[in-house]
A = this chain, B = another copy of it.
Amino acid sequence: MTSSTKMTFDLKTYLRDRQQRVEAALDASLSIGYPETVYEAMRYSLLAGGKRLRPILCLATCELLGGTDAMAMPTACALEMIHTMSLIHDDLPAMDNDDYRRGKLTNHKVYGEDVAILAGDALLTYAFEFVATQTQDVPADHTLRVIADLGKAVGAEGLVGGQIVDLASEGLTDVSLDTLNYIHTHKTGALLRVSVTSGAVLAGADDAQVSTLSQYANNIGLAFQIIDDILDITATSEELGKSAGKDLAAQKATYPSIWGLEESKQQAQTLVATAKASVLESFGSAAQPLVALADFIVDRTH
């Protein structure tokens, strides 16, 4: 079934269409106001391109459950605002101290550290405000649940917790697989999971559906990170749009450093196969976009 799905579903067109809709919605979400500096800094990073994987996952599960863009697009945009905030703060000198991101100078290199910190705070804040004010055709208690789920995914129980453990593990040579898993299920996994589940919640999914999608998201989230670790070794800086080989240079614990490259690739493949099988079983051919998106994650080169 998987191979026939691959044959009949045109992922390239699907992604291009969704990316265009997301770009347009992000552009419209934030116009320049006063003081211009902070809006420019917010837009600089928010509209710097990227795969828009999180918004697309949110739109995909909402559509899978019979929902519309009007229901999901504000949350899709909020996911990208949150993701962008985390990149801006992560790139700061006090954190990863990166000069380039997506092939462009990082936010603080252009606007200064003070503005970058505040632009991140403003994007994070605006994400919640945007969901609260812009979501349409969804019962208010479902929107509240999405706000709560977003909060859990970003805060100390999620992304921030993952970053803290990641920072604390820097330079350590004995990081365990458990710790590495904690870092990634929180630092990247939590936001990917809520990207998938929020679209479903907005469309009125039942608990069993949310649970299936949550498992799918856990599996592709971990596969995503393993591939990220692999690409840091095998891809060029040009392909990545950021410095390659950083993990090796920093002697950072990664899946390839624990498992080796081949075993890492194998693990990612297995996770993606599990993810695909679970959504096909629950949703049948309607799950085609999710199946193709899972493949996209392991097949990507940047």
Binds B, one of A2-10, A149-157, A236-244, A258-266: A149-157
| Interface-centre pick from A122, A126, A141, A148 (highest chain B CB count, 10 A) | A122
> Are A160 and B122 in contact, CB atoms less than 8 angstroms apart?
yes
In the complex, the count of this chain's copies comes to 2
Binds B, one of A37-45, A221-229, A246-254, A281-289: A37-45
Chain B positions within 8 Å of A34 at CB level: 161
Query: SS class of chain A's interface: helix, strand, loop or mixed?
Result: helix
Interface residues of A in 101-158 (CB under 8 A from B): 112-115, 117-122, 124-126, 128-130, 132-133, 139-141, 143-145, 147-148, 150-152, 154-157
Chain B positions within 8 Å of A33 at CB level: 156-157, 161
Task: Tell me the bound Cα distance from A124 to B112 in angstroms.
Answer: 22
Q: Does A70 contact B (CB under 8 A)?
A: no
Chain B positions within 8 Å of A115 at CB level: 164, 167
> Are B121 and A160 in contact, CB atoms less than 8 angstroms apart?
yes
Task: Tell me the bound Cα distance from A111 to B208 in angstroms.
Answer: 41
Task: Tell me the bound Cα distance from A113 to B117 in angstroms.
Answer: 12
For this complex, 29 residue pairs linking A to B, each with C-beta atoms less than 8 Å apart, are: A33-B157, A33-B161, A34-B161, A35-B156, A35-B164, A35-B165, A35-B168, A37-B164, A38-B156, A38-B160, A89-B118, A89-B121, A94-B112, A94-B114, A94-B117, A115-B164, A121-B121, A121-B160, A122-B154, A122-B155, A122-B156, A126-B156, A129-B147, A132-B147, A132-B148, A132-B151, A133-B151, A144-B144, A144-B147
Q: How far apart are A274's CB and chain B's nearest CB, in angstroms?
A: 27
Chain B positions within 8 Å of A126 at CB level: 151, 155-156
Chain B positions within 8 Å of A121 at CB level: 85, 89, 120-121, 124, 154-155, 160
What is the 8 Å Cβ interface bit string for chain A, positions 147-184, against chain B (1 contact, 0 not)?
Answer: 11011101111001101110110000000000000000
Interface residues of A in 18-61 (CB under 8 A from B): 33-35, 37-39, 42
Q: Does A95 contact B (CB under 8 A)?
A: yes
